Amino acid sequence: MAQTPGRILQQGYDIEALVKAGVKDIVLAVNYRPEVMVSVLKKTEEEFGINIHFSVETEPLGTAGPLALARDILGKDDSPFFVLNSDVTCVYPFESFRDFHLAHGNEGSIMVTKVAEPSAYGVVVTKPGSTVIDRFVEKPVEFVGNRINAGIYIFNPSVLDRIQLQPTSIEKEVFPAIAADGQLHSFDLPGFWMDVGQPKDYLSGTCLYLSHLTATHSPLLTDPKQNKWVYGGNVLVDPSAEIDPTAVIGPNVVIGPDAKIGPGVRLQRCVVLSNAVVRDHAWIANSIIGWNSNVGRWTRVENITVLGDDVTIKDELYVNGASVLPHKSISTSITEPRIVMCKLASLLA
Amino acid sequence: MSVTKGVILAGGPSKGTRMRPLTLDCPKPLLPIAGKPMIWHPLSALAKVPGLTEIIIIGFYEDSVMSSFIKESKREFPNIGISYLREYKALGTAGGLYHFRDSILRPPVPQNIFICNIDICSAYPFQEMMDLHSKHRGVGTIMGVNVKKETAVRYGCIVVDPETQQMLHYVEKPESWISNTVNGGIYLFDKSLFDEIKVAMDEKTARAAEDPLIKPDERLRLEQDVIVPLAAAKKMHVYQSRDFWRQIKTAASAVTASSLYLSRLQKTSPDFLAKPSSNIIPPVYIDSTATIDPSAKIGPNVAIGPGVVVGEGVRVKDAIILEGTTLEKHSCVLNSIVGANCTVGAWARVDGAPEPEQDVKGQISVTILATEVSLAPETLVRSCIVLPNKSLNRNSANEVLL
């Protein structure tokens, strides 16, 4: 897999949120060192008063091996470190995650999120009435829980003693060992995103809910007879949203309070959260447009794209399956879904 | 003033293969670039040269293919003789010129002859070439252009004496880098060129007679067989152009060439282009028979052909839209060529990446829809080549759609 460190800093992780949580060193675990990034990194380092290190894998080391490779930085003192893995869609509560970890005092913590269909994932099972992880069940055939690994961890440096500098899976080899010692806790991602779980599940759940409203003739739904721009039904628009009459909306669309939908916009199977603006002639399908976001004119957004809070997508772009962090501005097309990109470990000072 | 003539080497149907699928229905010289057939650009530039009496187009196309263009050009440039001479046999560029020497040299006998290759786009600095040519009085002056070091070996490379502008060395597509100055495909020759071609022919025949391993080849190429020995004999000079230049080899390069010509037309003949407004971002060419909804936003770098219908809220940028095509409401066409009589449905998106500096094998940049392609509403076609008469109703990316 091509790893693109440039994008981590441009739109992958909210550096600011990490810095607020006390991060002083960031290790980018990559399989090549992009020389072109040096000046950008320098700027980021200066802006946030942090050190950014590259840890270059010369051979694939799995999901745990890169931690051993960065041992000198991660293990330089006793403070715990974050590990961020995979693409992300929101501001993670790094500070409360850190507080949670320090409070239980054990070796590691895993952030978990809820999904509707856990059978496709590895499920995290905790001991009754406790946050201590009991076991992991890979692709469960019967329901054991619906919390899955969100790909964000915090560890004490002692965990490095469990990892050899060789290809190692953090999920399959390291976690079960820490869990067996009763040293691994699960932390629920709080708020909206915990309920949302995976965006794909959120969208299908939304469709089911809208169909249910239609079946029960709910007055909450926008009436197609009175609003000519409703197409195909299952459309739920907050009365405070402004919809241009030349837009075509539906089926399966939810539009939040104070959102603005411009002329000639086409929306289907999507959720536009409060105060978002979708500008003229944009086309959106199968996506979530975050609060206060702005989608440019003639922009096409599709394929489970999720925009966080206050994201700006410039005019005429194509955004395919991207997850965009809050407060980001996107000015070039994202043509391929952004999947797991890069491992990033960071040290708490 | 001494008589000058112009020759345009138009090539033939087998030469346009890299321009497919566009050239399946339209011969390459007639492909609209910036609202005019590709061949019109060198032709109209030649027509402005003082003392130029005649333009001769040489190519392999059937006479019927070129006849209406020739007729129109004669109407546009009534004071200049314009004719098309068809080659029946592949004689090579120099061989073809020699074959038609009597037609080129017939009275009024030209002192100088401009020769232009069809597959380039340029500012055609004929006057500057003429000025240099009259100064040095060698056999020929070639237009040299500077390209990036990484790409130079794909062209005819020229080593120039920076003091005298004399050509010291010429290698067609060398294996290793020798110079950033390359053959721009425009030449100015003294009429003694034909004597030089004769010498080159005789030498080639003599070499073939001596060496049984050389396959008999009647083709005589202007670059390798004529210019190389002329350079060695210090009879060639180089006019180094700093103006825009691009090779038009692939269909994708037609979009770049169109943009370059449009920018030039904006300076030289602004009336030919669409009037800029809040929804027309120059440079844009719109044929007078096209229908454009006032809410559509067009430009920059767009050429729209005859009878095209552009609907409400449409966006077009960096694109060529050929004759008779319909772009339905809210559709968006970027970095693409949409062939004749296509239909792009409402909210559909035809999108490509800009032409890269260097082609990557197997990677499509600009999207090309050939003739009579129809794209269903709301579908996306990105970096694809779509062959004629295809109906698309699903999203496609990075594919050749047969």
Together in a domain, A138 and A115: yes
| Nearest chain B CA: its distance from A72 CA (Å) | 41
b/e sequence A77-89, b meaning 16+ C-beta within 10 Å:
eeebbbbbbbbbb
- Whether B261 maps to a domain, the answer reads no
Together in a domain, A132 and A217: no
Mean pLDDT of B361-366: 83
Q: Would you list which residues of chain B are within 8 Å, Cβ to Cβ, of chain A?
A: 297, 312-313, 315, 317, 329-330, 332, 334, 347, 349, 351, 378, 380, 382, 397
- Whether A339 maps to a domain, the answer reads no
Give dist(CA B335, CA B318) in Å, integer: 5
- Whether B269 maps to a domain, the answer reads no
Mean pLDDT estimate for chain B: 93
Contact state of A300 with B329 under an 8 Å Cβ cutoff? no
Together in a domain, A85 and A217: no
How would you classify the pairing of strands A242-243 and B112-117?
unpaired
Together in a domain, A151 and A249: no
Together in a domain, B191 and B66: yes
How many residue pairs from chains A and B have C-beta atoms closer than 8 A? 40
Contact state of A264 with B329 under an 8 Å Cβ cutoff? yes
- Whether B254 maps to a domain, the answer reads no
Give dist(CA A215, CA A208) in Å, integer: 10
Mean pLDDT of A205-217: 85
Together in a domain, B89 and B211: yes
Together in a domain, A210 and A184: no
Residue A348 has pLDDT above 70, yes or no: no
Together in a domain, B299 and B345: yes
Together in a domain, B162 and B210: yes
- Whether A346 maps to a domain, the answer reads no
How would you classify the pairing of strands B349-351 and B332-338?
parallel
pLDDT classification of A340: cutoffs 50, 70, 90: very low
Contact state of A316 with B334 under an 8 Å Cβ cutoff? yes
Q: What amino acid is encoded at B187 in this protein?
A: Y
The count of domains in chain A is 2
Other Cβ atoms within 10 Å of B360 Cβ, number = 8
ipTM score of complex: 0.85
Nearest to B347 among A283, A318, A335 (CB): A283
Mean pLDDT of A113-140: 83
Together in a domain, A288 and A151: no
Residue A347 has pLDDT above 80, yes or no: no
- Whether A340 maps to a domain, the answer reads no
* Confidence (pLDDT) at A19: 82
The whole-model pTM stands at 0.75
CA dist A182 → A101, A176, B145 (Å) = 14, 10, 72
Domain ends where: A163, A197, A231? A197
| Complete DSSP assignment for B313-331 | T-EEEEEEE-TT-EE-TT-
Together in a domain, B225 and B289: no
Together in a domain, A47 and A182: yes
Q: Is A271:A254 a contact under the CB 8 Å cutoff?
A: yes
Mean pLDDT estimate for chain A: 82
pLDDT tens for each residue of B162-218:
999 999 999 999 999 999 999 999 999 999 999 999 999 998 888 878 877 767 677
Residue B24 has pLDDT above 80, yes or no: no
- Whether A99 maps to a domain, the answer reads yes
Together in a domain, A262 and A179: no
CA dist B205 → B212, B213, B218, B333 (Å) = 11, 13, 9, 54
The CATH number for A106's domain is 3.90.550.10
Contacts of B154 (CB under 8 A, 6+ apart): B173
Q: What percent of chain A has pLDDT over 90?
A: 40
Residues of B in contact with A298 (CB under 8 A): 297, 315, 330, 332
The count of domains in chain B is 2
Residue A194 has pLDDT above 60, yes or no: no
Least confident of A85-94, A200-209, B6-15, B270-279: A85-94
The CATH number for A229's domain is 2.160.10.10
- Whether A160 maps to a domain, the answer reads yes
Mean pLDDT of B87-92: 87
Domain ends where: A135, A168, A197? A197
Mean pLDDT of B64-87: 96
- Whether B175 maps to a domain, the answer reads yes
pLDDT tens for each residue of A293-315:
999 999 999 999 988 888 999 99
* Confidence (pLDDT) at A36: 56
Domain that includes residue B142, residue range: 4-247
pLDDT classification of B85: cutoffs 50, 70, 90: very high
Contact state of A263 with B313 under an 8 Å Cβ cutoff? yes
User: Which alpha helices (DSSP H) does chain A contain, by range?
Assistant: 5-7, 15-20, 38-48, 65-69, 71-74, 94-104, 175-180, 192-196, 199-215
Together in a domain, B28 and B153: yes
Mean pLDDT of B349-365: 84
Residue in chain B closest to A315 (alpha carbons) equals B315
Q: Between A160 and A13, whose confidence is greater?
A: A160
Together in a domain, A156 and A250: no
Together in a domain, B91 and B139: yes
- Whether B271 maps to a domain, the answer reads no
How would you classify the pairing of strands A343-348 and A23-30?
antiparallel
pLDDT tens for each residue of A59-86:
878 888 888 888 888 888 888 998 886 4
* Confidence (pLDDT) at A48: 83
Domain that includes residue A167, residue range: 5-197
Domain ends where: A197, A214, A247? A197
- Whether B221 maps to a domain, the answer reads yes
Contacts of B134 (CB under 8 A, 6+ apart): none
- Active centre residues of A (catalytic): 139
Mean pLDDT of A109-123: 78
- Whether B51 maps to a domain, the answer reads yes
Together in a domain, A40 and A174: yes
Together in a domain, B112 and B237: yes
- Whether A337 maps to a domain, the answer reads no
- Whether A276 maps to a domain, the answer reads yes
Together in a domain, B314 and B237: no
Cis peptide upstream of residue A257 (ω within 30 degrees of 0) = no
Mean pLDDT of B85-101: 92
Closest CA to B181 of B164, B163, B157, B149: B157
- Whether B17 maps to a domain, the answer reads yes
Least confident of A196-200, A256-260, B259-263: A196-200
Beta pairing partners, B336: B319, B367
Nearest to A335 among B297, B378, B382 (CB): B382
Together in a domain, A14 and A148: yes
State the best of A283, A284, A286, A319 to mutate against chain B, taking most chain B CBs within 10 Å. A283
- Whether A187 maps to a domain, the answer reads yes
The CATH number for B101's domain is 3.90.550.10
pLDDT classification of A207: cutoffs 50, 70, 90: confident
Together in a domain, B23 and B149: yes
Together in a domain, B281 and B228: no
Together in a domain, B234 and B359: no
Mean pLDDT of B108-136: 95
Residue in chain B closest to A247 (alpha carbons) equals B330
Together in a domain, A191 and A210: no
pLDDT classification of A190: cutoffs 50, 70, 90: low
Nearest to B378 among A263, A266, A333 (CB): A266
